[in-house]
Structure 1
C-alpha cells in the first residue's frame, strides 16, 4: 500500500516523467497536503484527474478501477468509493496543484543535434495558437465563461473557455499555456506566454495578432517573430529590400487607453517590421507575413514564406489534444469553474507527457523524426499498461515494449496544409459543399511559393 494506506498508483509508462516525487512537492506548495488518513489521497486524485483524460467517456468509478492495481481490493484494506466521495476528493485537489505539476513537466524538449526538424537556422521553431473548449452548461460555468456564436446561437451554445498554448513545432510538446478568464482573448493569452520565449526562438502565429504592445513584448525577450497579417496592416512602407520584401512601420492605436498603457509600460509608439508578400501556386490570393528578422541575407523571404506553413503543426497538436485524446464533440464535464480549470491542466499534462514518450521513442537507435510515431497508438499503449505494477524493473520492461511497438508502426506522411478551412459536417439543410471542394489528398505536394514583390 502507498501513501496514507492508498494503493500505489501511477500513469503507466508516463510515470517516468511524472513520478510521485514531482507531485508531492506540488501538493505541499499549494497547501493541499493532508495530515489525516483518507481513502483517497491527494496524490491519488492527481493521477486520477490525469487518468480521466485517457478515458474521457468512462465514469469516475470505472476510471478509478482502470487506475488502481487489480489486486488492491483483494487485500481488503481498500475499496473503490462511490461517485460522491470521488467528487469531493476532486474538489479538495484544486486547479493550482495541477497547474504546478504542469509547470514542472512541460517545456521544450528537442535539441539541435537530436531533432534538427525542430529548428531553422539555429532558431527553435515554436507556434502560438488559441482555441476554445466547450464546458458543461451550468449556472456557475455560464457566469465564469462566455458563450460563443452570434445572434440566437449565443442563447443555446455551450459556455466556452479560451485556451492559449505555445507549442514546439518539431515535437508538438507544450512549452507554456494560459487558461483564459471570462473576458480574455487570444491577445491577452499570448501576452501571458511571453516569458516562455527568449533568444534563439522563432515564434509563428496566425492573423489578428500583430500589435505594437504584443510585438514589443515578445521581441524584448530576444525572440524573433514570423506572423501572418491582414491586408490592411503594416502598409506604411519605409524601405524596399532586394529580395522583394520591404520594411514597414506599425503604430500603436490612438485611443486613450492604449496611450496610457504605452506610457506606463514604456512601450514604443511604433515598431518596424519586415513584410513578405507571396502567392501559393497559381492562386491569386495574396498572403502577407510580418517578421522581426529584418536582414534578407540572414533570413531570405522565400525561405520564410515556406517556413510559415509549419505553423499548421499547432493545429495538428490541437487535433491530438481535442480530438484524439479528449474525444470528438466531448464537453468538459465539471459543473464548476475550478473543476473546469483542473480538467484543462490535466489534459495539457497528459498531452505533453505523451509527446515526451513519443520523443523518447524517436531518439532510440537509429533515431527517427517524432512525426513518424502515432500519437493515438502511444496513448493506446499507455491505457493498456495502466493499473500495472510500479516497480522499476517492470517500468523499464514496459517502456522498452512500448518503444518497440511505436517504432514498428510508423504513420503515413501527412498532407501539407494549403487549402482554406472547409465545413466537414453539416448540421442543417443549408448549402452543402460541392464535389471536389474538400481538402486535397495526402499525396498533394506543397504549392510553389511565388513572392509578390520579387523583381523579375
Structure 2
C-alpha cells in the first residue's frame, strides 16, 4: 500500500534508478565508472535490471558489507529501505541467481582498471609522510583466504602444511603499494599463492615516479629489481641481508658509506655495470632482543637525508602492515573468507575490496585535511561504520 501523499511517477522507474551510492560515488564518480565500463567493453547491448555501472558499485558494496548476504547488500545499496517498502508493486528484488549472472557479465577487468585509474596518493606534505620532499611509500605482500572450491584451488593454490592434511583454504597473493602517511593503497597486483612477490612486483612499476621514496623489506632485493625500480625515477630505501658483500668506497660523518651493487661475483670483480648506493647500518633493541638493519638507498648525499633520518623513515614502512590489517580484519572480518566461488569472481572481489578501502581512506584524508589532523589518528572502523550507514540511508540518484 502506498504511503499517504505519495504520487506514482509518470514515467516508469527501474530499480537501478534509485541507487544510494554513499561514499563510493564521491571517489568513483559515475562518469569514471562509465568511462571504464566502455573502455573494457563491459557495457550492455540492451537495458537490464542490473546494468554494468550498478554492478560496479555493488561489488564495492560487497566489500563494505562482507558478512551480509548478496540480497542484503543489494538492499543496502538501494535508495533506502523505506522507499523499497512502498514500491513493491513497481519492481521485485533481484534474486541471488540474477545478481550472480550480473557479476559474471561484469567480469574482473572493470574493477581492476577502475582501481588502477582512481588510486593515487593524496597525503599532504608533512614530516610523517615525507622525507627531503619525497613521499614515503612502501611495497609488501599479503594473502587472502578464498572459498574452498576446486576451481579456486586450481587457479590460486593453497599453502602447504607439515601434516598429511591440506590447509584450510586456497589463498590468493596480493602485492600492494601503500602511501605510508594515509594508509591508502595506491597500486596492487594479485596472483596465485604460489607466485613469488618478486615476480609480481614489476606490475607496480607504472605506479612509481620521481616524487616518491620507495621502501621495501629484504625479500624484495635483487640486482635487477633494484635497477628497474630506480629506472622509474623513484628514490629507493631497501633493506638487504646482513651478509651481502658491500665494499666501502667512501665513509661519511653520519656513519653511512658509499658502495656499489653488482649482478654477480664476476661483474663485481670486473666492475661491470655497478649501481652506486649508500649504505646505512644500525641496530634496534628493547634490552632483551636486538635487530640489525642494513639499508641501501639511492640518496647518495647525506646532506639531503642523514643516516638517522633514513632509519627513522624506514620504520614507517610498517604502516603497510596496519593498512592490510584494516582491509582484512576490520573491513572484511577476522574469520571471513572471500565469498566468490570462481577465480574470475575472486579477482573481481579483491579489487572491490581495494576500491572500497581506497574510498574510505580518501574520505578520512579529506576530513583530516579540513580539521588539520593526522589521517592515521582518525578511526578507520568508525569511518567504515559511517560509510555503511550512508549507503543504507542516503538516497542517491544516478544522473
Q: Same fold (TM over 0.5)?
A: yes
Aligned twin of 2:232:
221
SS of the equivalent of 2:319 reads: helix
* Higher RCO (C-alpha under 8 Å, 6+ residues apart): 2
TM-score of the two chains, using structure 1 as the length reference: 0.78
1:367 aligns with 2:378: no
2:342 to 326, 333, 336: 336
C-alpha separation in 1, matches of 2:274 and 2:164? 39
Aligned length: 378
Kindly report the root-mean-square deviation, in angstroms, between the aligned alpha carbons of the 2 structures. Answer: 2.3
C-alpha separation in 1, matches of 2:396 and 2:219? 50
1:35 aligns with 2:45: yes
C-alpha separation in 1, matches of 2:34 and 2:279? 49
Deviates more, 1:103-112 or 1:135-144: 103-112
- Contact persistence 1:234–1:275 (CA under 8 A): no
Aligned twin of 2:154:
143
2:131 to 112, 120, 133: 120
Aligned twin of 2:99:
86
Where does 1:136-215 land on structure 2 (aligned, <5 Å)? 136-152=147-163, 155-181=166-192, 183-215=194-226
Alpha-carbon distance change, 133 to 5 in structure 1, aligned in 2, over 3 angstroms: closer
C-alpha separation in 1, matches of 2:110 and 2:230? 31
Unmatched segments (≥5 aa) in structure 1: 260-267, 393-456
Aligned twin of 1:74:
86
1:58 to 68, 84, 103: 68
- Contact persistence 1:127–1:169 (CA under 8 A): yes
TM-score of the two chains, using structure 2 as the length reference: 0.88
Q: Deviations over 1:378-413 (max 9, x none)?
A: 010011111334459xxxxxxxxxxxxxxxxxxxxx
C-alpha separation in 1, matches of 2:345 and 2:205? 26
User: 1:242 Cα deviation (Å)?
Assistant: 2.6
User: 1:296 Cα deviation (Å)?
Assistant: 1.8
C-alpha separation in 2, matches of 1:310 and 1:235? 25
C-alpha separation in 2, matches of 1:186 and 1:3? 48
C-alpha separation in 2, matches of 1:5 and 1:322? 31
Deviates more, 1:74-83 or 1:314-323: 74-83
Aligned twin of 1:378:
383
1:273 aligns with 2:277: yes
- Contact persistence 2:255–2:280 (CA under 8 A): yes
C-alpha separation in 2, matches of 1:384 and 1:153? 46
SS of the equivalent of 1:57 reads: coil
Q: Deviations over 1:258-316 (max 9, x none)?
A: x9xxxxxxxx7442322211122445432211111122222211111122110111111
C-alpha separation in 2, matches of 1:200 and 1:45? 35
C-alpha separation in 2, matches of 1:160 and 1:18? 28
User: 1:3 Cα deviation (Å)?
Assistant: 9.0
1:326 to 329, 332, 357: 332
1:107 aligns with 2:148: no
Q: Deviations over 1:81-128 (max 9, x none)?
A: 22111111111110001112112321111232xx45321121111111
